[in-house]
Structure 1
Amino acid sequence: MMKLITMLSRFFLSCSSVPGHHDSARIFDPAEFFRINSAMAHVTDNILRTRSPEITISKLQIRFILTQRDSYMIGESVARAMATQKVDAAEFQILTEKAYLECSPADLLDHAKKFNGFLGACPDAFAGLRRLRLRNMRFAEPDIPNILSACKLLESLHLTHCDSGKNSVLRVEHDQLTELKVEVGKFEIVELACLPKLQQVSYNNWFNSHKDPLYFGFVPQLSKLWLAKTGRRSTRTLQLSQLLGNVPSISDLHLDFQSEKIWVLPESPKLLKPVLNKLQRFNLDNLPEGCDLAWTMFILEAALSLKEMCITVWEHWCNRVMRNKEYQERNGYCEKADMEWKPHAPDFKHKNLVKLTIYGFQADDIFVRFIRCVIKHAVNMAEISLHDRKVCLHCGDLDPKMKCPSRYPWNADEHVQIIEELGMSLPA
């Protein structure tokens, strides 16, 4: 086994048996968790010490808890490996002693302080990192720019429950960064100031503000944008023509509404065409059930290069059961409402859309009308895929009487009926 380890080129070393689940549940009791973290740090050191420098490490991915002794050992081992042998892609995924729901503001500040100490003690390791994932930290405003400055080769940065306090501003500048993912924080705005190689951005559940959550500066290669938000009454409605005014290069746009309020405004083609003229793939995810879909046609009117469109309609039932009316009212959730939209050119023809995919399709007028509308305008449509509702494990365990039964057509007769209602011949 020791000989085999010296010959391997890809490593994933983790203190957690369930990747990414540290914040949702305790896998072990705390003492056991830290014992495993310490053992993993020693294993990392042993592996990197005994490797032949002639074999390139193509991928080195390490997930560990931020404790001074273990983190410093890992940092020093990685720095030594980077200095003595070729390491193509190194990644740190840094967990904290407490999950976010257990953290006080003082804990978040303490986690950031410990991380800054780690960064200062192992600068050579961070200088060679390609990917960095941080969570549960509250930095001073200069800290994240300082981290980016220290991580000169960084290509991917993920921040989860990280910020600099309520209504803070995150300004991002970096020569090599290609991917930025921000999940839940209290930034008023994330400014993507100068990122010449940035290709994809993901922002999940930004803090409610009177400003757009993102500002795009110099991002000439940005092509993929993923926005997800559990909308409430106070959630500001975004206007894509303003948000994307400086990034007409977006080719892949994904909007996730998490079964709640629609927080994007249907706009006229005149305003949207300049910013969506390169859009080729468009995803609308987790639209609330029961609402009309006609409003989504504003994208087709504006994005004339669009090739694929995917819509997921899903009522997350286990969340809905937890959110009774009193809870919804207290926390600012609102009743689902149809968005108003009228076609600006009723007879417009879209020549590039070839594929429409719908998850959550039901055999009712809402879906049939929408699909017929798409077929009418998308004159070169080649494929329509209609799938039943998505169901998470918790939703599947609920009492069937609590949920609206699915009306998805499963048998051959129902298939024929739907095809006829859509106005298509059977071969089509």
Structure 2
Amino acid sequence: MGKGSRDDMLSALPDDILVNILDRLNVPEAARTSILARRWGQLCGKLSRLIISVQDFLPEGVLHSNVSVDELVRTNAAVVQATESILARRNPGEHTIRLLSTTFYLRDDAPLSIGRAVGHAMATHLVEVAKFSVRTGTDDIAEIDDDELVTCGRKFMVFFDACSNAFGGLTSLELQNLRFGESDISSILVSCKRLKHLHLYNCDSGEHSTLQVEHAHLNELCITQCRLTHVKLSWLPQLTLLVFDGWIDFDDPLFIGHVPLLTSVSLTNVALSFNKMFKLSEFLSSTSVQNLKLGFRSEKIWVQPECPTQSLASVFCQLRFVNLVNLPEGYDLTWTMFILEAAPLLKDLYITVWDHACSMEMDEEKRKKELYSEDKGVEWDSATADFQHRSLVTLVICGFESEDYFVNYVRRVMAAAVNLEDVFLYSRLLCANCKDEKQVRFPWTKRQRISLKKRITVGIESFAIIHSNKMVREDHQAKILYPECSRFDTSC
């Protein structure tokens, strides 16, 4: 800038570039720029991305899960004020709203105020993507009883009935800790005609209830820790992603009807000693998924290995990516070979072996009382002799140890996967909340890595490169978590 210049270089930029910059900030940060000059205040009325969340108004370091009642009320009021203020600055029909996302608590009259402001914005502007993320103040299921679930469910339906315009324009809806009436969810789906993403966390219509879903445009359905006996996907012609985390009944919990575009499926559950094992050929019948995540929460394997059949081949014929999450430690992995046999197009196989103390029941008395299984593995050795897989390119194992069962499994995959390019062996995952400091046998030194490579490759002709590292590569970590919508999260 020249000496004595009254304007800074940033303010000299054209409006469209400045709006693009402000769109990258959250609403509170963008709103603060209005104090700079009258021009900056006008720019806030042109933003195309409006993300207004209670998290942005909480004190630094305070999370949704441990907010006090006073903070809950204060932040909810701040969200209402921000929503009404930022929408009131806009000239009707002048600028398209690409994204309008609000996250708030289901408390007092705040939802009604937000719903009416959003509904008015939808009536006067073009809103491409609209999202409600409705929270109840706790993420811990154990801290909310049945009466509170019912109360929250009724509060939500009052909100829903009073703000039909807003719900009619929603494209994404996240709900938490609600017990609905028998027909409430159906009413919501009928009214939310534009809905593409529905995430339910601890929501049901009474314990051991059935969820039936029909919708013309729903693209993503995430069901997490809902006390449901059955989920029926009756008619979902646009559904591409299903996350089903935690079911009660192991007797046909999932019915898949008309879902012709379903390509990504994530299934996670804790199996107890008396629970039967699932055959994926039956569980996923009438589908041909491309991305499959199976989660076990460090407990009993609930997948039954299968010999190659026509029905299994039909389910796995398009499979490209498999992610096996939190397999219990110390058990043979040979059973996973049946997936390779049935999925000729599989390119990437990711396996995480981890006894994650944070998510496990560690009390021995409770484990006995609640019938947790002490034998978590499954025996399987029916792989076809001289079986060859020609598509697998990458094998990633997190939680690898220099034990014979790990080494023998890697050898088996390398022998079968004739075009395998890379084998990534990572140490046991770490969790900041765990106090578990278990020592693991991992090839930490260069000498140990050379020795491990010899143990794996002796007698095997393979061009695959073996990588052994302590830290997981960022791109691998992202895939390990994919498709992770199994917790109530506004980033989903």
TM-score range, shorter chain: over 0.9
Answer yes or no: is 1:411 the counterpart of 2:445.
Answer: yes
Q: Show the 5 A alignment for 1:346-357.
A: 346-357=385-396
Secondary structure, counterpart of 1:161 in structure 2: strand
Give how far 1:319 is off: 5.0
Which moved further from structure 2: 118-127 or 227-236? Answer: 227-236
Which moved further from structure 2: 273-282 or 61-70? Answer: 61-70
Contact 1:68 1:118 in 2 (8 A): no
Q: Show the 5 A alignment for 1:386-401.
A: 386-395=425-434, 397-398=435-436, 400=437
Q: What 5-or-longer segments of structure 1 have no aligned partner? A: none
Give how far 1:59 is off: 1.1
Q: Cα gap change, 1:274/1:97 in structure 2, threshold over 3 Å: closer, same or farther? A: closer
Q: Show the 5 A alignment for 1:63-82.
A: 63-82=103-122
- Letter paired with 1:323: M
Secondary structure, counterpart of 2:266 in structure 1: strand
Q: Cα gap change, 1:114/1:81 in structure 2, threshold over 3 Å: closer, same or farther? A: same
Q: Distance in 2 between matches of 1:282 and 1:311?
A: 8
Q: Distance in 1 between matches of 2:55 and 2:106?
A: 13
For residues 91-116 of structure 1, the C-alpha deviation after alignment (integer angstroms, 9 at most, x for no partner) is: 00001256543322121111111111
Contact 2:269 2:295 in 1 (8 A): yes
Q: Distance in 1 between matches of 2:261 and 2:108?
A: 38
Query: What does residue 254 of structure 1 align with?
Result: 293
Secondary structure, counterpart of 1:89 in structure 2: strand
Q: Show the 5 A alignment for 1:298-313.
A: 298-313=338-353
For residues 360-397 of structure 1, the C-alpha deviation after alignment (integer angstroms, 9 at most, x for no partner) is: 111111111001100111111111111111111122x4
Contact 1:22 1:95 in 2 (8 A): no
Contact 1:210 1:236 in 2 (8 A): yes
Answer yes or no: is 1:297 the counterpart of 2:331.
Answer: no
Q: Distance in 2 between matches of 1:125 and 1:14?
A: 17
Q: Cα gap change, 1:337/1:84 in structure 2, threshold over 3 Å: closer, same or farther? A: closer
Answer yes or no: is 1:222 the counterpart of 2:262.
Answer: yes
Give how far 1:236 is off: 3.3
Give how far 1:344 is off: 4.2
TM-score, normalising length: structure 1: 0.93
Give how far 1:324 is off: 2.6
Which moved further from structure 2: 83-92 or 406-415? Answer: 406-415
- Letter paired with 2:447: D
Give how far 1:408 is off: 1.3
Q: Cα gap change, 1:262/1:24 in structure 2, threshold over 3 Å: closer, same or farther? A: farther
For residues 298-336 of structure 1, the C-alpha deviation after alignment (integer angstroms, 9 at most, x for no partner) is: 10111111111000001113555x613212112221113
Q: Cα gap change, 1:211/1:367 in structure 2, threshold over 3 Å: closer, same or farther? A: same
Q: Distance in 2 between matches of 1:339 and 1:38?
A: 53
Q: Distance in 2 between matches of 1:70 and 1:358?
A: 47
Q: Distance in 1 between matches of 2:222 and 2:238?
A: 15
Give how far 1:225 is off: 0.3
Q: Show the 5 A alignment for 1:307-346.
A: 307-318=347-358, 323-346=362-385
- Letter paired with 1:279: L
Give how far 1:43 is off: 1.3
Equivalent of 2:170 in 110, 121, 129: 129
Equivalent of 1:118 in 159, 178, 181: 159
Query: What does residue 422 of structure 1 align with?
Result: 456
Q: Distance in 1 between matches of 2:124 and 2:63?
A: 35
TM-score, normalising length: structure 2: 0.81
Larger radius of gyration: 2
Query: What does residue 136 of structure 2 align with?
Result: 96
Q: Cα gap change, 1:90/1:373 in structure 2, threshold over 3 Å: closer, same or farther? A: same
Give how far 1:22 is off: 9.6
- Letter paired with 1:251: Q
Give how far 1:266 is off: 0.4
Secondary structure, counterpart of 2:292 in structure 1: strand
Query: What does residue 197 of structure 2 align with?
Result: 156
Aligned length: 418
Secondary structure, counterpart of 1:254 in structure 2: strand
Contact 1:162 1:185 in 2 (8 A): yes
Q: Distance in 1 between matches of 2:440 and 2:96?
A: 53
Query: What does residue 282 of structure 2 align with?
Result: 242
Equivalent of 2:231 in 190, 199, 214: 190
Q: Distance in 2 between matches of 1:356 and 1:150?
A: 45
- Letter paired with 2:448: E
Q: Distance in 2 between matches of 1:359 and 1:191?
A: 34
Contact 1:63 1:95 in 2 (8 A): yes
Equivalent of 1:376 in 399, 412, 415: 415
Q: Cα gap change, 1:98/1:354 in structure 2, threshold over 3 Å: closer, same or farther? A: closer
Q: Distance in 1 between matches of 2:297 and 2:330?
A: 14
Contact 2:427 2:442 in 1 (8 A): yes
Secondary structure, counterpart of 1:326 in structure 2: helix
